[in-house]
Amino acid sequence: MHFAMLLFPGFEALDVFGPLEVLNVLSERKQIYLSLLASSLTPVSTQSPDPAARRAGSICAQEVLPTGTFADYLQDARAPDGVKGNIDVLVVPGGAGTRYPHAIDPVIEFVRGIAPPVKYIMSVCNGAGVLARAGVLDGRRATTNKMLWGQTTALRGEVRWVRDARWVADGNVWTSSGVSAGIDMMLAFVRETYGEDLASGIAQEIEYVWDREEDGTRDPFATAAL
Amino acid sequence: MHFAMLLFPGFEALDVFGPLEVLNVLSERKQIYLSLLASSLTPVSTQSPDPAARRAGSICAQEVLPTGTFADYLQDARAPDGVKGNIDVLVVPGGAGTRYPHAIDPVIEFVRGIAPPVKYIMSVCNGAGVLARAGVLDGRRATTNKMLWGQTTALRGEVRWVRDARWVADGNVWTSSGVSAGIDMMLAFVRETYGEDLASGIAQEIEYVWDREEDGTRDPFATAAL
C-alpha cells in the first residue's frame, strides 16, 4: 500500500509525524511504501510564514526532506505505460502555511490533479480546509480542528461539517480534528485495513491513549473553543 | 531558553516530533531557541538500522536536517570567550538506533561531554537507556518505555527505575515513558517553567488529551507489557 504525505512550508509538525509514527511501526509488519511529496526537493520547514508567529523572536523549526515532487509524481502517474507508484492513501496535513497562497496553492492544485485515482484521501487538522478548497469534500461529512473551526469551515459551504468528531470517515475520504487527532484517525484506518489487533498493538507500542471508539464521534475538544 | 534535540540514525519519529510540536507552539509565545544536533550535518533518517525492521519489505522513512553537529557545539561551548549558545534543555529521544553502537555511541559521548553545564536533561522512551549509559541517571529516579522495559533498565543498575510513571522529574533530569509520553512530559515541563495556563493552552491547541496529573505517576501502560 502506497501512502503519500504532502509537505508545504509551515506544515504543522505533529500533523505529519503523528500519522507517520503509526505508519513507521506498521511498516515493520506490513509492506507499505511512503512518499513525502512537495513542490520541489528542497527541504520543507515547519517555520510558519505568518509574521505574527515570529513576534516572540524565537528560532524553532524543523526541516524535512521530500522524497519526490508533485510534478514528477503527476508525470509518472500519467505515463501511458502504466501506473508507476500510484498513491493509495493521500494524507494532507494542516498548519499555518495553509493560509499562505505561495505555500498551499501548489498543494491544492496537486490534490485536484490527483484526487480521482487515489483510493483514500485524508486530512489532519486544518488540512481539511485544503481538501475543501480542492473540492474533494463537496457533499461529504468532514471535520477539522476546533480552534480554527470558524475560519476553516467558512472556506467551503458545500461540505457537511461535523463538529463533534475526533475523526470522520465518509466513504474514501477521512478527515481528522486538530493535530493529535491525526494519530487517532490513522490508527482507525489501520484497524479498518489490517484489523483490530494490529491497530491496538501499534497504539500499545507507541503508548498512545487511542480514542478507539468505532466511528470517531467523540471529541473532548468539540465544545471547548466555541 | 535554548532547547537541543539530539538526532541519530533510527530515531523514533514521535519521540522527537511530539515534544517539538509543543516547543513549536511555545515558540510563538515565548522566546526560545532550538538546536537539532547530530554527528554531522547529513540528514538523519528514522530508518531503523535493525535488519528485522525491514523484513516486511517496506520503504517508509523520514529524513530531518540537523542544525549543528555535536563537535561544533562542544567547540563553541568550550571557547574561552564565552558560552555561545549554551544549552538549557537537552532532549534525547529513543528509537531502534539506540541499540546500534555506530548510531548511538556519538550521542552517549556527547551527553557525557556536555551534561554538567546543561540545566535540564530529558529523555523520551528508551532514550532513558542512553542517559543511563552516559551515567546521567545514577542514583536518580527515572522511567522509560514499557515494551522494552526489561532490556532498557538492565543497561544500568545504578538507576532507581520507576515503572508506574508517565514521566519522572528528579531534580533537573526528566525522563518519560514510551513515545507519546514525551508530549505529556514536555507539557509538564512547560507548566513548571511558564505556568499552568500556557501549558493547558498548548495542549488545547494541539488537541492532545494531556495526562496533566501533577507528578506524572499514572501510566495506563505500566502493567500492560509485564
CATH code, A123: 3.40.50.880
> Which residue of A33, A177, A204 is in closest CB contact with B58?
A33
Does the CB of B103 have a partner CB in chain A at under 8 Å?
Answer: no
Using a pLDDT cut of 70, give the percent of chain B over it: 94
Residues from chain B contacting residue A147 (CB–CB below 8 Å): 204-205, 207
Q: Are A132 and A101 in contact (CB under 8 A)?
A: no
Residues from chain A contacting residue B183 (CB–CB below 8 Å): 180
- H or E segment and range at residue B140: none
CA angle A114, A93, A141 (to 5 degrees): 75
Q: How far is A79 from chain B (nearest CA, A)?
A: 23
pLDDT for A225 equals: 52
Does the CB of B72 have a partner CB in chain A at under 8 Å?
Answer: no
Mean pLDDT on B18-44: 97
Q: How far apart are CA A159 and CA A155, in angstroms?
A: 9
> Under 8 Å CB-to-CB from A165, ≥6 apart: which residues?
A143, A177, A216, A217, A218, A219, A222
Q: How far is A16 from chain B (nearest CA, A)?
A: 9
A127 located within any domain: yes
Say if strands A33-38 and A2-6 run parallel, antiparallel, or are unpaired.
parallel
> Which residue of A62, A145, A208 is in closest CB contact with B36?
A62
B56-70 residue pLDDT tens: 999 999 999 999 999
pLDDT for B183 equals: 97
**Residue bearing cell 464521534:** A217
Does the CB of B44 have a partner CB in chain A at under 8 Å?
Answer: no
Instruction: Find the domain containing B134 and state its range.
Output: 1-51+58-214
Q: Are A185 and A176 in contact (CB under 8 A)?
A: yes
Q: How far apart are CA B142 and CA B132, in angstroms?
A: 9
Q: Is the dihedral of CA B129, B133, B136, B138 positive or negative?
A: positive
Q: Is the pLDDT of residue B167 over 70?
A: yes
Q: For each of chain A's 226 residues, which pLDDT tens digit applies?
A: 999 999 999 999 999 999 999 999 999 999 999 999 999 999 999 999 988 888 899 999 999 999 999 998 888 766 555 444 589 999 999 999 999 999 999 999 999 988 777 899 999 999 999 999 999 999 999 999 999 999 999 999 999 999 999 999 999 999 999 999 999 999 999 999 999 999 999 999 999 999 877 677 778 787 765 4
Optimal mutation site among A45, A62, A163, A221, interface B, most CBs of chain B within 10 A: A62
A38 located within any domain: yes
Question: Which one has a higher pLDDT value, A212 or B77?
Answer: A212
Closest CA to B171 of B144, B194, B142, B195: B142
A175 located within any domain: yes
Using a pLDDT cut of 90, give the percent of chain B over it: 79
B225 located within any domain: no
Optimal mutation site among B12, B14, B212, B223, interface A, most CBs of chain A within 10 A: B14
A225 located within any domain: no
pLDDT for B83 equals: 46
Does the CB of A6 have a partner CB in chain B at under 8 Å?
Answer: no
Does the CB of A214 have a partner CB in chain B at under 8 Å?
Answer: no
Confidence of residue B50 (pLDDT cuts 50, 70, 90): confident
B223 located within any domain: no
Mean pLDDT on B4-14: 98
- Partner B, chain A 139-178, Cβ-Cβ below 8 Å: 145-147, 177-178
A114 located within any domain: yes
Confidence of residue B152 (pLDDT cuts 50, 70, 90): very high
A77 located within any domain: yes
Q: How far apart are CA B135 and CA B123, in angstroms?
A: 13
> Which residue of A17, A178, A205 is in closest CB contact with B147?
A205
pLDDT for A222 equals: 77
Residues from chain B contacting residue A16 (CB–CB below 8 Å): 17
> Which residue of A46, A147, A211 is in closest CB contact with B24?
A46
Say if strands B63-64 and B2-6 run parallel, antiparallel, or are unpaired.
unpaired
Task: Domain count for chain B, please give it.
Answer: 1
Q: How far apart are CA B144 and CA B155, in angstroms?
A: 12
Mean pLDDT on B26-30: 96
Confidence of residue B117 (pLDDT cuts 50, 70, 90): confident
Cell matching residue B215: 507528578
Q: Are B165 and B219 in contact (CB under 8 A)?
A: yes
Is this model's pTM higher than 0.90 or not? yes
> Which residue of B27, B147, B206 is in closest CB contact with A56?
B27
